[in-house]
Amino acid sequence: MEYKLIDSNSVLEQLGVDEIPSNIDMFYDLSYQLSTYIFDYRVKNNLTQKEFANMLGVKQPMVSKLESGNYNISLQSICDVMAKLNTRIKLELEPEDNEEDVDCFDMSRHEVPAANIVKIEELGVAV
């Protein structure tokens, strides 16, 4: 029997799935970026998976999982690993389809009605 490799898009097409949901697409994109970074870091520094695991304070199978991209690592664990690699994480969030940008520092969105404002002096707090 002859086996033939097919890509995931072909499988999805056979299943009648026209488009990958954006949350799944984002997850695999981030997983790929993370696993590629970890693998490249290890190879660039001429480390075996076991040596790299010792450096991270984990066991070798965990390094294998991280490099595979098929492991759903927690955000806390990502931060722990990147801190040990002296690597800063930059997360960029942007709306899809030209949705209105949200300025998190625009305080007009968070205005408190005047009736709810209490002067510090009224609370008896020394300034």
Domain boundaries, the chain: 1-91
- The pLDDT tens digits of the residues spanning 35-88 come to 999 999 999 999 999 999 999 999 999 999 999 988 899 999 999 999 999 999
In terms of CATH architecture, what is 1-91? Orthogonal Bundle (1.10)
pTM (2 d.p.): 0.60
As a whole number of angstroms, the distance between CA 95 and CA 19 comes to 19
